[in-house]
Amino acid sequence: MLKFRSSPQVEAPPEANTVIGVNSSLRGTLMVSGTLRIDGEFEGDILNCERIEIGEHGILRADVEVKEALVQGRVYGNIRALGNIEMKSGARIEGDVAAMTVAMEQGVHFTGRCTMLESGSESVEMGGAPPARSR
């Protein structure tokens, strides 16, 4: 009798419930629960967002604090994520990134600092001073 192991199911990212479309330009403060996808241009503040996706033609000019981020377009600002940040080939990031996991494909243009967070508790204090390390 043959037994087959099923491969683990890869969980797909949640579908965007808020989209800034191509050729759209917004400025201001957005309060988004769930996933925000930017295929146009946004400048301002983003609050309560769990996941942000910057599409291939998207431009973000803001500092963001999210659980997850996917960057395929351009970001001018800092990204801090409780979970992971994924940067795809062709992305351009000018700012600092901090996350538990950072994945960067070949062909990404990144100018800034990258900080790998050791635990989720560090991300809770977004924008605060880095925690003291014991020796």
Q: pLDDT 10s digit of each residue in the chain, 135 long?
A: 555 555 555 577 778 889 999 999 999 999 999 999 999 999 999 999 999 999 999 999 999 999 999 999 999 999 999 999 999 999 999 999 999 999 999 999 999 999 998 875 444 444 444 444 444
What is the chain's length?
A: 135
pLDDT value at position 10?
59
pLDDT of residue 118: 82
| Separation of alpha carbons 108 and 74, rounded Å | 10
- Calculate the alpha carbon distances from 103 to 17, 60, 63, 85, 116 in Å: 24, 19, 19, 6, 11
